Amino acid sequence: MGVFRKSEAGLVIIVILLMAFIFIGWLVSLGQRECKSNGDCSSDSYCGSDFACHEYPNIQKTVVQYSLIGPALVIGIAIIIAALILRWKRLNSKEDQ
C-alpha cells in the first residue's frame, strides 16, 4: 500500500483543483448576471430566463365590436310573424264553426 500513496495524493489534488475551477466558474457566472428578479430591472422591463433585463413587448389588441341589433330584429319579427300565423289559424277555425 505504501507504493500507491503518491498516486492517490495526485488524484486528490486533481479532484480538488477541478472542484475549485468549477466553483470559481459558477461564481463568475453569478457575477455576470444582470438581474435575479424583476425588481432588479427598471419598471418597464422584466428579468428573463437568461438573467438579463428585457423590455416588455408592446402588444396591441384589436377590439372587435359586434352590433347584434340586426339579428335581434330579424328574430323578433320572425317570432311575431309565427305568433300571428298561429293566431290566424285559431281565428279561422273558430269562424268556420
Predicted model pTM: 0.40
Q: d(Cα 51, Cα 45) in Å, to the nearest integer?
A: 12
Q: d(Cα 10, Cα 5) in Å, to the nearest integer?
A: 9
Residue 69: domain span:
2-96
pLDDT score, position 51: 83
Q: d(Cα 25, Cα 12) in Å, to the nearest integer?
A: 20
Please report, in tens digits, the pLDDT of each residue of the chain (97 residues total). Answer: 455 566 677 888 889 999 999 998 888 877 777 788 888 888 888 988 888 898 888 888 888 888 999 999 999 999 999 988 888 877 776 666 6
Q: Long-range contacts of range 7-16, CB-CB < 8 Å, 24 or more positions apart?
A: none
Number of domains in the chain: 1
